[in-house]
A and B are shown apart, each in its own frame.
Chain A
C-alpha cells in the first residue's frame, strides 16, 4: 500500500488553538479532520502538506441543530451522523438521499462533511447538495468569522475560498416550510464517485413553483448550481413538462468532460435526466409534506 511522505503533526485542543496553529505553520499546514479526503491524497503523494493539524478532538464542531430558523451542521460532523440525523432528514430529505450514496458506510463513519466540502472535488456530492439548498458556509479565522454562500464557496477544482489561516466551521441552511428536496446520482457502482448527480429543492405555492434550487456535480456546472434552470422554474407550473425543461436548461449550461466514467454527451444527458428526476421526487415530497 502506498504511504504518505514525512509530515509534522499537531493536535488542536480547541478551535482557537487550531486557528493559532494554522497561523503558526502557514500555508503548508492542512487541517486534518476525518482524513478520508486528505490522507488518500497524501498516500498517493498528490498532497504533501508539511504539517497536519488534527481537529478530531474538537467535538464542539460536531453537531446538527435547528436554531434561528436554520439547520446548522458543524463541519466536523461525520457523514454517518448526518445520514442518521432526524432533524437533518426531517427538514431536508436531500441530505439523507445524498449521504446514502456518498462513499460507503465505513468511510462515512469517519469522513466529515467539512472535509469533503473543503477537498472540493469537482464530483463531490455535498457541494451539489448544499448548492441546491442555497446553504451558507461559516468560516472562522483568529479574529472572528465570515459567511460565504455555498454558491461562492468554490473557486476551482480542489480550491475553495477558505484561506490557509481559516477554517470552515459550520454549514447553515434556512428552513422554509412546505418544501421538498431530493438527490439523484448515477455511479458505475455503489460507492463510486458520481458520473453525474443532481440535487433539487422545491417550494410550492399551490400548483406553481414558488422557488427552486438545483445543484449538480461531476458535470462541470458552475459553482455546482443551475441558476438558469432555477430562474425558469420560478412561477412555472409544477408539472412534469416544467421539470423536463428545467433539466434541459441545466444540461445546456454545464460543461462536462469525457473520461472513463463516460463521454461528455452522456454526462450532459444525465444532468438533464437527473435534474428532472430530482425535481419530480422533490415535488412529490413537498406534496406529501416529507421535506
Chain B
C-alpha cells in the first residue's frame, strides 16, 4: 500500500484492551442521580390515572416526572426525525408495549428500579392492532388520535420510477414472476444499550450531556429546539460508544427525561436503559411487507421490476432518513442490473408497536431493497430453469455503462460488476459446488448455494436534495498543525467501533507525508469539533473522509505558500514529492510539513494574502452518493429431519473503492456478515395479538455467536469512486445489506427439491421444517 494507507493497527485499541474505554455508564459525576423509566405493560390503552405519590415518598427518590410535569416544561412531546411527534412520557394514551410513562430519579440505580413498582397507573385497555394490513382496514383502532383530525392509521404514500413505462413492459414480457416477502422487524441490539448523563449547571445555564449518540451535533441542535436551551450553552459529548448500527441515531424519551431530571433536581442524572428497554422501545429496523415482481424475456434478459411495500412504522413515525425520502433509499431496489423500467410504491402505516424502522445498518432501507431484488432474481432463475449465477452475469451492468442512471434516478458512480461476481465464483469454486450439490441430492442430502449481488447507495448526501430535519448533510472538519509538527484533526462524525481515530489519521497522513501516529483525531465533543450530521448510513468515509482529505490538501496548499517563503522561491517552482514541498529540479531544497509548521508559526515574513499558522477548515458537501457493491456466495447444509441450517461457507467479494485500512475494511465486512446470519436464521421482534413484544430479551431475540458463523472468506475488487477525493466509497453496512439474501437464497436452493418456493426470515428450524411440509409460517406475528 502506498503512503499511509495500509493495515495499520488501531490507535484506539490501547485503551480498550486495558478496559479503559469510557462508555456512558462508566461516567460518574459528583452528586449524580440515577433515572429509571416506568413503561406500559399494555400495547394500547387510555391512561386513566398515574399516582406517583408512593414513589415520591421512597427515602432514596429525589423526583418522579410524569407527562404532566414534562408538559409544564413543554417536553411531554418531542419532534421525531420524520416530521411527526412522539410522546416523551405518555399523557393521554399508551400506544405500544414498553412506552414511557414516568421517570424516577433516585440516589442509586437499585432504588430507582424499586421505586418504579410504587407508581400506580390505571389503564383502560383499548383494542390493539399489530398487523400492518389490518391497521389499514376500515374500523381498525385509530392509534394517533392525538393528531388533529386523524381517523385512520395511514402515514404516507410514496413512489418512485415510471409506473406507466413499467406497466407497459410487464404487460408484454415473456415471463413475469411475483412474490410476497417479509423483511421482518429486527433490532440492531448493539452490545452497549442507550444511555445518557445529563448535567445542567443552573448558574451558567450550560447543559452538558454525555450520551450514546451517533450524531452529537445534530442532537445538540435538536435539544436546543426542543428544550429551549440556547444552543451555544449545550455541549453534547459522545464518549466511547459500544456499537451503534443506527440504534443510537434518534433522540429517545429517556434522554429528554434525564435532561428534565437534571433541570429539576439541579444534579447530574444518569439514565442507562436495560436490554429489554432497548429491544422493546428503541429504534427497530425493517418491518417491510413487500410484494415484488420481475419481468424478463424467455431467454433470461431482465426487463423491469415492480414493488409494492407496506411499511410498518410503529406508533410514531420516527424513522431517520433524509427528509425528501420517507422510504429512505428503497428505490435503489433496481439493484445491479440493466433494467428498462422500474416502479415502486410504499405505503406507511401506524401500528401498536415501538417507533423506528430505519436502523441496523440499513443504509436507509437499502437492506430491504437488496433483499427484494436478489430474491426476485433467484425466483426468476428458478422459473426459467437457469443457474442463478448465469442469470445475474447475463444482466449485471457492464463497466462501460457507468456512470449509470437507474430507472428510479440514482446515478451509480462506478463499478465492474461482472469481475466481482466472477471473482466470488472463483473463490467459491462454484462449478464444483454445483456438482457436489447434485451428488448430495442423490444421497438425500440437502445443500444450497445462494448468491447476492448488491449495489449500495451511501454517503448521504448532497445538500441540494438531502437534509435531516432541515440540517444539510455536509460535514465539517478542522485540521490544526502545531508548531512542532504534530496535528489534531477534528471530525464531526462519530465512531462506534469503526476505527476513525486510525483511519482518519491515515487519510491526513497520506496527504501530508506525516506519520498517522503524529495526528490525533478528536471526535464526539460538540465543543471541540466542527458541525456535521454524524455516522450512520456508511457516510463517514464518503463525507467526513472526503472532508479530511480536502482539509489536508488545503493545509498542504497553505504549506506551499509558507514553503515558498522559507525557500525563497515562487510557489509555482515547488512540487509535492515524497511528502515534502521541494524545488522542481533541485530536490535538496525542500521542506516537510513539520518544518513548515514551525515556520508558519514563526516570525517568517509571509507573502500578501497568506495568513500564518497551518490550520484549515472545510465543510464538504458531497456531489453524489457513493456506490459500494459486492458479490456474495453462501453455502448451507440443511437437515430436513429437523430443519436446522448450517452455514458452511460464506464468500464475500466487496468493492468499496480505495481502501484506507484493509484490516479495518475486512473487520467491517466480517461484522456485517454475522448480521446476515442473525437476520436470515434467528432474529425477529415478533408480536402476539395483544401487542406483547415477543423479542424483549436476548433469550428470545437471538444473536449469532461464534459457533453459527463460519470463517468468512473475503475478496476484493477496487473501482475508485470518481467523485470522491480519495476514491473511497464506505463499507460499514455493505455486508449487512448484502448477506441476508445470500443466506436465504442458499437455504431455499437447498429446499428446491421439496418444491419450496419461498419462506420468510428468520429461517429457524421450525420455519424450515414447516416449509418442507408445505406450510409457510408467519414469522412476525404469533396469532392463535
A residues with CB within 8 A of B: 1-3, 5-6, 186, 188-193, 195, 258-263, 265-266, 269-270, 273-274, 277
- Nearest-Cβ distance from residue A92 to partner chain B, whole angstroms: 24
- Assess the B705–A269 pair: CB atoms within 8 A: no
Q: How far is the CA of A128 from the CA of B585 in the complex (A)?
A: 85
The residue that B702 contacts in the complex, of A186, A188, A270, with Cβ under 8 A, is: A188
Q: Whole-angstrom distance from the CB of A115 to the nearest CB of chain B?
A: 17
- Pair A262/B764 contact, Cβ less than 8 Å: yes
Question: What CA separation (Å) do A6 and B110 show in the bound complex?
Answer: 9
Task: Please pick, from A190, A261, A277, the residue contacting B707 in the complex, using a CB distance under 8 A.
Answer: A190
Q: Is the CB of A273 within 8 A of B109?
A: no
Q: Which of A2, A189, A269, A270 has the most CB of B within 10 A?
A: A189
Contact flags B672-699 to A (C-beta < 8 A → 1, else 0): 0000000001100010000000100001
Of the residues B276, B682, B766, contact of A263 by C-beta under 8 Å: B766
Q: How far is the CA of A204 from the CA of B113 in the complex (A)?
A: 58
Cβ contacts under 8 Å, A1 to chain B: 274-275
Identify which of residues 701-717 in chain B touch chain A, using a CB-to-CB cut-off of 8 Å: 702, 704-705, 707-708
Q: By the criterion CB–CB under 8 Å, are B769 and A189 in contact?
A: no
Q: When the two chains form the complex, which single residue of A189, A193, A260, A274 contacts B705, counting CB atoms closer than 8 Å?
A: A189
Q: Point out the residues of chain B lying under 8 angstroms from A195, CB to CB.
A: 765-766
Q: Complex: how many Å from CA A176 to CA B237?
A: 67
Do A266 and B276 have beta carbons less than 8 Å apart? no
User: Given A195-B765, A262-B765, A263-B777, are A190 and B708 also a contact pair (CB < 8 Å)?
Assistant: yes
B642 in complex: contacting residue of A186, A191, A260, CB < 8 Å: A186
CB distance from A170 to the nearest CB of B (A): 30
Q: Report which of B641, B686, B694, B766 forms a contact with A262, defined as CB distance below 8 A.
A: B766
Residues of A within 8 Å of B764, CB to CB, are 188, 261-262
Contacts of B520 in A (CB 8 A): none
Q: A189-B708, A265-B770 are in contact. List 20 more A-B contacts (CB 8 A).
A: A3-B109, A3-B110, A3-B113, A6-B114, A186-B644, A186-B765, A188-B682, A188-B765, A189-B681, A189-B704, A195-B765, A259-B782, A260-B686, A262-B764, A263-B770, A266-B643, A266-B765, A266-B766, A273-B642, A277-B641
CB neighbours of B275 from chain A (8 A): 1
Assess A192 versus B702: contact at CB under 8 Å? Given A2-B274, A6-B114, A260-B686: yes
Contacts of B445 in A (CB 8 A): none
Instruction: Choose from B114, B682, B708, B769 the contact partner of A269 (Cβ within 8 Å).
Output: B769
Q: What would be 11 A-B contacts, judged by CB atoms less than 8 Å apart? A: A3-B110, A6-B114, A189-B682, A189-B705, A195-B765, A195-B766, A258-B782, A261-B764, A265-B770, A274-B642, A277-B641
Residues B641 and A273 in contact, CB atoms below 8 Å apart: yes
On whether A260 and B708 interact (CB within 8 A), knowing A2-B274, A3-B110, A188-B682, the answer reads no
Query: Residues of B contacting A269 with CB < 8 Å?
Result: 769
Q: Looking at the assembled complex, report how far the CB atom of B768 sits from the nearest CB atom of chain A, in whole angstroms.
A: 10
Contacts of B705 in A (CB 8 A): 189-191
Residue of A nearest to B706 (CB): A190
A265 contacts which chain B residues (CB < 8 A)?
Answer: 770
- In Å, the complex CA distance between A188 and B770 comes to 14
A189–B643 alpha-carbon span in the complex (Å): 12
Are A270 and B642 in contact, CB atoms less than 8 angstroms apart? Answer: yes
Q: What is the CA–CA distance of A214 and B179 in the complex, to the nearest angstrom?
A: 44
A269–B607 CA distance with the chains assembled, in angstroms: 86
B540 to chain A, nearest CB (A): 30
Complex interface: chain A residues within 8 A of B769 (CB): 266, 269
When distances are taken between beta carbons in the complex, the residues of chain A under 8 Å from B782 are 258-260
Q: B residues within 8 A CB of A2?
A: 113, 274, 276
Give the complex CA separation of A274 and B702 in angstroms.
Answer: 23
The answer for the CA separation of A10 and B279 in the assembled complex, in Å, is 36
Which residue of chain A has its CB nearest to the CB of B702?
A189
Residues of A within 8 A of B276 (CB): 2
Q: Contact between A266 and B770 (Cβ–Cβ < 8 Å)?
A: yes
In the A-B complex, list the 4 residue pairs whose CB atoms are closest, starting with the nearest.
A262-B766, A190-B707, A266-B766, A189-B702
A198 CB to closest chain B CB (Å) equals 11
Please provide the chain B residues from 100 to 127 with a CB less than 8 Å away from any CB of chain A in the complex.
109-110, 113-114
CA–CA, A270 and B113, complex, Å: 41
- When distances are taken between beta carbons in the complex, the residues of chain A under 8 Å from B694 are 260
Task: Check B527 for interface membership: any CB of A closer than 8 A.
Answer: no
- B residues 183-241 near A (Cβ < 8 Å) are none
Q: Is residue B605 contacting chain A, with contact meaning CB distance below 8 A?
A: no
Q: Return chain A residues, CB-CB under 8 Å to B274.
A: 1-2
**Residue from A189, A192, A261 in contact with B766 in the complex, judged by beta carbons closer than 8 Å:** A261
Expressed in whole angstroms, the minimum distance between the Cβ of A97 and any Cβ of chain B is 16
| Cβ-based interface call for B700 (8 A) | yes
List chain B residues, Cβ under 8 A from A274: 642
> Closest CB-CB distance, B575 to chain A, in whole Å?
59
Complexed CA–CA distance, A274 and B275 (Å)? 34
Residues of B within 8 A of A266 (CB): 643, 765-766, 769-770
CA distance A6 to B686 in the complex (A): 33
Contact A5 B766 (CB under 8 A): no
CB distance from B647 to the nearest CB of A (A): 12
Closest residue of chain A to B642 (Cβ to Cβ) is: A186
Proximity string of chain B (632-664) to chain A, C-beta cutoff 8 Å, 1 when within and 0 when not: 000000000111100000000000000000000
Residues in A with CB closer than 8 Å to B114 are 5-6
Whole-angstrom CA separation of A164 from B643 in the bound complex: 42
Measured between beta carbons, the chain B residues less than 8 angstroms from A262 are 764-766
A5 — which chain B residues lie within 8 A by C-beta? Answer: 114
Closest to A274 in B: B642
Distance in angstroms between the alpha carbons of A186 and B646 in the assembled complex:
13
Q: Which residue of B lies closest to A2 (CB)?
A: B274
Q: Once bound together, how far apart are the Cα atoms of A190 and B114, in whole Å?
A: 34
Most buried by B among A261, A266, A277: A266
